[in-house]
Structure formats: structure tokens, C-alpha cells
Amino acid sequence: MTGGRPAWRLPPPDLDQRPLPIVLIAAGTPVVRIHTRHRDPLYFGRTGEARFDSPDGAYGVCYLGLDDAAAFVETILRDQDLRGVARSDLTRRALADGVITRPVKLVAFGGSGLSRLRATAGTVHSTYRVTQAWSRALWAHTDQPDGLQYRSRFDDDQRCVALFDRASAALRFTASTPLTKVPGRLGPLLDRYDLGLYD
């Protein structure tokens, strides 16, 4: 609670009557995804187990970073004690490089977009019951956005994307490599977050 009011808010009832704050991601923009090795990187989950998943399975969501650090903190760092990373967590993951193939419209779920949505920064990082309600309301909005852009709760310098499956044709992956096979990219991430490795 802050000032007697919740630090989060559910979507307002008049949300669909107002234009959404939109950020355009240009065709050719590179994106990064860290995924489990047994799964194709072009995966739109409907499990309800992730932050902006559909609460009722109506649509799928693919989670992306706009750089290596964003993908790393949202997939690896989130499950760690912040002092080290388990080697087993790295060996079962792969790093996939992708590209946006057409302009995509993302709801600016952060920055000045929050006040236009009548939301708060606490809303973005609230419980999944709250964030999934927002995802569902934004997905159903008449503006028909392709997804959301938000800041990682583990490193708020990092911009992340939750892409709805209506925009699946706008995403193409060019390569996917086991995370342990790209030490030139993994090493700087471990250094950035002052992380060791443990068995």
C-alpha cells in the first residue's frame, strides 16, 4: 500500500474508450529470446504461468528482450538468488536471435504510458492476477495492439516485449544456440550482474 491506496490498479472500466499509448517497433529491429532447448524459440505460451499470459487461454504470448541483458534477467536471473547462476539452468537453455519483420504496435506499459492507462509502476510488477487482467484488457482493446513493451522488474534499464500471437508473422528467428556455447555473450552478462556459477 502507498498513501492508503494500493500500489497496483486493475484496468479501468473505460479503457476501451480511450486510445492506447503506442510505441512502434520498426521492421528490422533485432530481438533476443532465451528459451528451453527442447522448445522452438517461436513459441506463444497459453499456460497462464507467465506475467502477461492470457488468463483464459484466449491468445498466446511470446516474451522477448530488446537486447541480451533484457532476455537474461527475465529468464535466468528471475529464478536465482542474485549471487550466482546454476550451471544446470544454463545448459538447458538456448539463446535465439530474432528480428521484427514488420512494424509492430506495442502498448507502452511503462513511462508516461502508465498515466495514460491510469496504471502505476507497481501495476506492471504486481501479482499475475493483476498483470494478466491488464494483458487481457489490452489484447481485447479496439486498437488491437501487437503486444506490450515493459521494463524488467529485475533491471529496470531493460526493455522487454510481450508479443501477442496475432503478431506471430512479424517475428522471425535467425539462429538459436545453446547458452553455454556463446561464452562471448554469456560472460558479459555474468559480469554485468556480478554473478558466479555454481553446480
User: What digits encode the pLDDT tens for the residues 136-187?
Assistant: 999 999 999 999 999 998 899 999 999 999 999 999 999 899 999 999 999 9
- Find the largest Cα–Cα distance for the chain: 53
Q: Does residue 3 fall inside a structural domain?
A: no
Mean pLDDT over 46-59 rounds to 96
Mean pLDDT of 72-92: 82
5 within a domain of the structure (yes/no): no
Is residue 115 one of the residues assigned to a domain? yes
Q: What's the rounded mean pLDDT across residues 44-56?
A: 96
Residue 139 CA to chain centroid, in angstroms? 15
DSSP 2: B
The CATH number given to whatever domain includes residue 27 is 3.90.175
Residue 17: phi and psi, rounded to 5, are -95, 0
Give the pLDDT score at 82.
Answer: 66
Burial of 63: CB neighbours in 10 Å, binned 0-12, 13-18, 19+: buried
Q: What is the mean pLDDT of the chain?
A: 92
Quickly tell me which residue has 537486447 as its cell. Answer: 67
Q: How confident is the model at residue 106 (pLDDT cuts 50, 70, 90)?
A: very high
Structurally, the chain folds into a number of domains equal to 1
Q: What percent of the chain has pLDDT over 70?
A: 95
Side chain identity at residue 159, one-letter code: R
Statement: residue 83 has pLDDT above 90: no
pLDDT at residue 2, rounded to an integer: 47
Mean pLDDT over 22-34 rounds to: 98
pLDDT higher than 80, residue 79: no
Compute the distance between CA of residue 72 and CA of residue 50 in angstroms, rounded to an integer: 15
Residue 81 scores a pLDDT above 70: no
Cell numbers standing for residue 1: 500500500
Domain that holds residue 75: 15-194
